[in-house]
Structure 1
Amino acid sequence: MAIYAIGDIHGCARSLEQLLDLIRFDPSVDRLWCVGDLVNRGPDSLGVLRYLTQLGPAAQIVLGNHDLFLLAAAEGLVALRPKDTIQDILAAEDRTELLAWLRQQPLHHHEGAYFMVHAGLLPQWSIDEAARLAREVEHTLAGPESRLFLQALFQGNTPQWSAALTGYERLAAVTRALTRLRTCTEEGVLSGFSGSPDDAPHGHLPWFRIPSRRNSDHTILFGHWAALGLHIEPNILGLDSGCVWGRQLTAIRLNDRTLFQVEYADDRGRS
C-alpha cells in the first residue's frame, strides 16, 4: 500500500487525472491524502468533487478555505466573486449529496507521525491541542448548527485566537488559523499576507519558522501557500505548487518521499 499526499487541486480535474495516472494510483490498495482547496478557481470543480466522493475510504480529505467558501455560498451567505468557478457545483443535480459529503470532511488528519491540515498550526498549539480544537469545528460543521457557524466565519469579525474565546467566535478563530495561516508572530498573531516568505510583514515569520512552536515533533503536511511553492523539509511538507496558477500539481509518496508532478492542464486536456 502506498500513501500519496497531494497539493491544492482547485478544480483542476484534468491535472488530477494525469497525476493519478502518473503514480498509477489504485484505490483498492493505495490511499490519497488531499490538503484541501479541492475546488474553485480551476476549470472543473464539479469533476473533482465527483471523483473524490467515489473513492470512499481511499481518500483522506482536509477542508481548505475555498471548500468552506463553497459551503457558505450554497447557504447564500457569500456572493460569488468574478474569479470563482463553483457555479457548476451549485447548479448540479447532485449538489445536495456533494455538499453533504463535503460538510462531513475534517479540518485535520493525524496519523502516526503525520499531521495534515490545509494551512498550518499556530506556534502555541501542541499537536494534541490542535487536533482537539479542529474536532470542535468539525463537530459543528457536520451538525445542525453548520449554517450558524459558517455565518460567523464569513460574516462575522473573526478574532485572533485566544483560549478565552467561546462559541462561534472560538470556532471561527480556530478555522481561520487552520485554513488561512501563512505567517504569524511568535505569539501566534496572524497576518493576511499571501506573498513570498521573503516579503513577510515585519515581526512575522512563516508559521513553521517560529522557533518556539510546540508542534515541531510531527511532520506537518499543508498547502494553501502558492507563493511559497513546493517546500520540503524533514518535518515540513508544503505541497501547494500552484497548479491553478499555471504551474504544477504535486504528489508525494509518503512511504519513501518520492515526488511526482504534472503540469497544469485545462478542462480540454491541453497542457
Structure 2
Amino acid sequence: MYGPWSSSAPVQCKDPRAVIVGDVHGCAKELRTLLRRAKLRPRCDLLYFVGDVIGKGPASVDALRDVRALSLSRNGPAYVGAVLGNHEAGFLRWLEARTLGRTAPPTSHKVEWEKWASALSSAERMWLRELPLDMALPAEFGHVRVVHAGMVPGVAVADQRREDLITIRSLLPNGTGSALPGPRGSASWAAFWRGPEHLVFGHDARRKLQRYPDATGIDSGCVYGGKLTALILHHSPPRLANESAATSLEKQAAQPSVVVPLGSPLQAARCATRAPCMIHVPAQKGSCAKEAPLGTEQGGKKGGAWGRGGKKGKPIIVEERD
C-alpha cells in the first residue's frame, strides 16, 4: 500500500485526472458532495487538497478523517495528498506546547482545539504532522504545484519562508509578503507570480476565485456560506523519445488534452470537456451555510455575494464556462 504522501502511485488507467480541492474548513458535508460529483475513479485519478481541511467549520474531525481514509484506501484514488494549512499549523503548535507542558500561546481556537485533541488518535495526529508545505503534480499535468497560501514572487521555491507558504495573501510595495487580505497599497501576491511553476492555492477567501497568468486561487469561502471548489486537470501523455513531433501533434489532435498554460490565466470550461474545469458546491444547510457570509459588503442579497443553494436545501452544482 502506498502511504498518503508517496511521490508516486500505481495509476491503472490511461487518462487520469488531477482533482485539486479548495479550503474545506470542516465543511464535511460539502466535501462529500463535491467528491461524489467529481466521480473519482479508483486507482486512476489523483486527489489533492490545498490545506485548511480543518478549522472554523462544524465538522473538522469528520473532514480530516474522510481525507485520511481516502489516502489509506486500497480502492480509493491512485494518489491522495494535502499540504499544510495555517489552521493545521496553528493546531499543531498548540498541541506541541500542551503535550510538552509549556504555556500554549493565547488563541481564540482553544475550545475547538481541545475537542480535536480529545477526539483525534495518535495516528491521526501524526498524519497532520507529516503534511508537506507544498506538492508538485506529475509533469503530465503541466508544471503545477499546490501550496496553501502562496509564495513571494522573485524568490526561488526552495528559498520560500514557511510562514509565507501558509499565510501570505498580499504583496506589499516593498516586495514582502503580508498575511492581511488587502492592506492599503498592497495587491494579491499571485498577480505578480511568474513561475517557474503554475501555483494552485487557497487561503484567500475574501478575494474568492483568482486567475492570474501563473497562479490560480480556489478558496471560494465555503465555511463563510460560499462554495467549495475543485479544480480538475487532465493528463497529457508525454511524447516518447523516439516519436516525431509531427506524430505527437497528430495524436494530440485526435485526442486533445489541455494542461495548465504557463503565462496565461487558467480558463475553466465545462467538465464535460478535457480542458481544465471547476466544480462548485455551495454551502449546505445543516453544515456551512450562513445568513451573513464573508463578502456581503460586496453587494449580495440575502445569503451574500456567494449564493445559497437549491430548492429544499439541495445543492446547486455549477460548472463554470468562461
Pick 1 or 2: higher relative contact order, CA cutoff 8 A, min separation 6: 1
Distance change (3 Å), C-alpha of 1:31 and 1:81 = same
Provide the C-alpha distance between the structure 1 equivalents of 2:42 and 2:124, rounded to a whole number of angstroms. Answer: 20
CA 247–60 in structure 1, closer or farther in 2 if over 3 Å, else same: same
- In structure 2, the partner of 1:253 is 232
Q: Distance in 2 between matches of 1:13 and 1:242?
A: 14
Match of residue 39 from structure 1: 54
Q: Paired residue for 1:28?
A: 43
Contact 2:27 2:287 in 1 (8 A): no
Q: 1:72 aligns with which of 70, 93, 102?
A: 93
Task: Describe the SS at the equivalent of 1:71.
Answer: helix
Structure 1 residue matching 2:62: 3-state secondary structure: helix
Task: Tell me the secondary structure at the aligned position of residue 109 of structure 1.
Answer: strand
Deviations 1:84-131 (A, max 9, x none): 744442111x431111011111001123300111111111212xxx2x
Which whole-Å CA distance do the structure 2 matches of 1:133 and 1:228 have between them?
26
Change (3 A) 1:58 1:27: farther
Structure-2 residue corresponding to 1:181: 168
Paired position in structure 1 for 2:149: 119
- Partner Cα distance (1:243, 1:84) in 2: 22
Q: Deviations over 1:114-154 (max 9, x none)?
A: 0111111111212xxx2x346xxxxxxxxxxxxxxxxxxxx
Structure 2 SS opposite 1:60: strand
CA contact (8 A) 2:22 2:228 kept: yes
Give the 3-state SS of the residue equivalent to 1:51 in structure 2.
Answer: helix
Tell me the secondary structure at the aligned position of residue 55 of structure 1: helix
Identify the match of residue 108 of structure 2 among 70, 77, 81.
81
> Normalization by structure 2: what TM-score?
0.62
Q: Cα 1:252–1:29, aligned 2, differ >3 Å: closer, same or farther?
A: same
Structure 1 segment 42-61 matched on structure 2, within 5 A: 42-56=57-71, 58-61=79-82
* SS in structure 2 at match of 1:50: helix
CA distance in 1, matches of 2:111, 2:57: 8
Q: Does 1:229 align with 2:208?
A: yes
Q: Does residue 1:105 correspond to 2:131, yes or no?
A: yes
Query: Number of matched residues?
Result: 219
Distance 1:73 1:101 in 2: 16
Greater shift in the superposed pair: 80-89 or 97-106: 80-89
Once the two structures are superposed, residues 199-244 of structure 1 have per-residue CA deviations (whole angstroms, 9 ceiling, x without a partner) of x422x2211223xx5x423211000000110123442210000000
What are structure 2's unaligned runs of at least 5 residues? 1-15, 72-77, 99-103, 235-274, 289-312, 315-322
Question: Deviation of residue 27 (structure 1)?
Answer: 4.2
User: 2 CA distance for matches of 1:238 and 1:3?
Assistant: 16
Q: Is the 8 A contact 1:12 1:266 kept in 2?
A: no
Q: 1:71 to 1:106 in 2, by over 3 A?
A: same
1:185 corresponds to which letter in structure 2? L
Query: Does the C-alpha gap of structure 1 residues 10 and 257 become closer, same or farther in structure 2, counting only changes over 3 Å?
Result: same
Higher helix share: 1
**Residue 207 of structure 2: SS of its match in structure 1?**
coil
1:30 Cα deviation from its structure 2 partner: 1.4
1:159-178 map, 5 Å: 174-178=161-165
Identity of aligned residues (%): 29
Q: TM-score normalised to the size of structure 1?
A: 0.73
Structure with higher Rg: it is 2
Distance 1:8 1:184, change over 3 A: same
Q: Letter of the aligned partner of 2:163 in structure 1?
A: R
What's the CA shift for 1:267? 5.1
| Alpha-carbon contact 2:49-2:82 (below 8 Å) kept | yes
Q: 2:22–2:218: 8 Å Cα contact kept in structure 1?
A: yes
Structure 1 residues 15 and 24: alpha-carbon distance in aligned structure 2, compared to 1, 3 A threshold: same
- What is the CA distance between 1:260 and its match in structure 2? 0.3
Is 2:283 the counterpart of 1:264? yes
SS at match of 2:220: coil
